[in-house]
Structure 1
Amino acid sequence: MEKKRISVMGCGWLGLPLAQELVKQGTQVKGSTTTPAKVEVLRSAGIEPFLLSFPENSSKTDLQDFLTADVLVFNLPPSRSASEQSSYEDLLQKVLVAAPASLEVIFVSSTSVYPDLNREVQEADAVASPDASSLMLRCEFLVQQSFADSTIVRFGGLMGSSRHPGRFLAGKTEVPQPNGPVNMIHLADCVGLLLGIIQQEKWGFTFNACAPEHPTRKEFYTQAARQLGLTPPSFASQGEEKFKIINSDFIRQVLNYTFLFPDPLDCLSAPNF
């Protein structure tokens, strides 16, 4: 594959390791951050840094320069605040309007787009549309309408590096859904899947990205807390079932990808978690 110029918008927990791996492969990488102190971190990693503050970004030239690339990985997580969700759509729209039409785009989405259907769910169970109740489905639609060469990646629960799930529920009581399945994915697999899409030029897809194994919440979070020496959560009785099992067979088949951590329980004892 011809070497591409890649811009990673949002060099945080996922974006920075992805950008670093791309640099290792000899790729020209631009990376954005909203934190002035992180500019030098990016530069020292061989990433061309861009300080882009939204929505008050004053330099349109900087944004256009950042978007002068072959591939854009849009990896800015939305705020959980309902009042800020419309500004997230505005931010995305601003980026899409400023981007060249030839750009290939990966939009990092979430499996939160699926309701609890009490069954296994696949990509077709949540359809992007302009009037969807889900913010991420509306944003997926914006990306797909703006760029033919775009791919949506719906990640499950993120773990690895600084995100150890042992801290998520440690010490909590009456935690619901003890027998509900977890839908997790390790950082190493997040990076591996995104690299696969870029390298194999898999555009025009919507993918679920989640570890193939789904231990129960009680088993997973109890073991995770113990791994860190923390008090495990205590769970409520099962009650009414509310769950979903994210099926990621499609991305594995299309990319011919083998998960490094197919079972989230195996991650917990992995070195350099």
Structure 2
Amino acid sequence: MKHIAIIGAGWLGLPLAKHLQTLGYQVSASRTSQAGIEQLAAQEIQGFVCDLNNPLHLADTLASLGCDTVVGSFPPGFRRGQGDEYAQQWQDLVSAAQRAQCKKIIMISSTTVYPSRAEAMTEQQASLALAQSDADFSANAKVMLQAEQSVLDSGLDYAVVRCSGLIGPDRHPSRFAARLKQVSTLAPANMLHLDDAIGAVTFAVEHLQSDVVNATTPNTVSKAEFYQAALDAVASTDPLPAVVDVADKLIVADKLVCAGYQFHYLNTLEALNADG
């Protein structure tokens, strides 16, 4: 049975660790402090300290744990102004996995990688090579794609799971509506529930080999309709931000579906109401 190390036992990484344990995998998960390790122990998860800004002993740690699969589940920190570190963190993580003789590495990436165009986005429409010569790719997209490239070039078996906007427990979209400058009747709400994020990453661990996939709820509505439904779901009387008619990209999950993954929620409105 595989021993899986999850780097980043946060909002997604912690429930992912618990789920993989229920499937019989040996799982170790990281936090950045000893206090975090004690919190994991209280939930019966083996923890280890990992600070990706100081990864000196990470390879030794992974080797001592006997990990054959590493899952990176940590955000780029763009909103905190820390995005520039992200590509280096992934380069260091890949190097540690190589030195520890791990067999597979899974990157939980983001649909931030796609260009700002009102098109249906499939996996081949974003790569570091494309981004370097296309002004429609944002600076954040280029950082994410540089991080992905470290995984693609690792020589290890890999899977890159590009998740769209994550929703679920403690991340109800109604909380974010007020922060938006505008919502569009023509922009798709590309969203993914925590249950399907866990499901897609687990599917990647078990079934994907050297592949990149989008993980997004297969059917959706406009952002205007989605966020109004989110406010209605919590009986909020707050108004929507400015409603506009500006088209935007649609993330497509066909490749993951064709590979055999079965989504828990087929529509974003269904996913929205999953947590009451």
Q: Same fold (TM over 0.5)?
A: yes
Matched, 1:229 2:235: yes
Deviates further, 176-185 or 107-116: 176-185
- Could you give the per-residue CA deviations for residues 38-70 of structure 1, whole angstroms, max 9, x where no partner exists? 212322333210122231456457644477411
- Could you give the per-residue CA deviations for residues 158-212 of structure 1, whole angstroms, max 9, x where no partner exists? 0001110011114x68624233110001000111111112222x11111000001
Question: Please, what is the CA RMSD of the aligned residues?
Answer: 2.4
Asked whether the 8 Å contact 1:104–1:147 carries over to 2, the reply is: no
Matched, 1:238 2:248: no
Q: Where do 1:55-66 residues align within 5 Å? A: 55-56=53-54, 59=57, 63-65=61-63
Matched, 1:182 2:186: no
2:13 alignment counterpart: 15
TM-aligned CA distance change 1:78 to 1:177, over 3 Å: same
Q: Give me the whole-angstrom Cα distance separating, in 2, the residues matched to 1:154 and 1:173.
A: 22
TM-aligned CA distance change 1:199 to 1:61, over 3 Å: closer
Name the TM-score, length of structure 2 as normaliser.
0.87
Matched, 1:267 2:271: yes
Q: Give me the whole-angstrom Cα distance separating, in 1, the residues matched to 2:110 and 2:50.
A: 23
**Structure 1: runs of 5 or more not aligned:** none
Aligned-pair CA distance for 1:75: 1.0
Count of residues in Structure 1 that have an aligned counterpart in Structure 2: 266
Structure number with the higher helix fraction is 2
Deviates further, 4-13 or 100-109: 100-109
Q: Give me the whole-angstrom Cα distance separating, in 2, the residues matched to 1:235 and 1:65.
A: 50
Asked whether the 8 Å contact 1:181–1:216 carries over to 2, the reply is: yes
1:212 alignment counterpart: 218
Letter of the aligned partner of 1:47 in structure 2? Answer: I
Q: Give me the whole-angstrom Cα distance separating, in 1, the residues matched to 2:117 and 2:210.
A: 26
Asked whether the 8 Å contact 1:103–1:147 carries over to 2, the reply is: no
TM-aligned CA distance change 1:227 to 1:127, over 3 Å: same
**Structure 2: runs of 5 or more not aligned:** 133-138
Asked whether the 8 Å contact 2:185–2:244 carries over to 1, the reply is: yes
1:197 alignment counterpart: 204
1:147 alignment counterpart: 155
What is the aligned-residue identity percentage?
31
Asked whether the 8 Å contact 2:50–2:58 carries over to 1, the reply is: no
Aligned-pair CA distance for 1:26: 1.8
Q: Where do 1:37-56 residues align within 5 Å? A: 37-56=35-54
Q: 1:249 aligns with which of 249, 254, 262?
A: 254
DSSP-derived class of the 1:50 partner: strand
Letter of the aligned partner of 2:193 in structure 1? Answer: H
Matched, 1:85 2:92: no
DSSP-derived class of the 1:198 partner: helix
1:76 alignment counterpart: 74
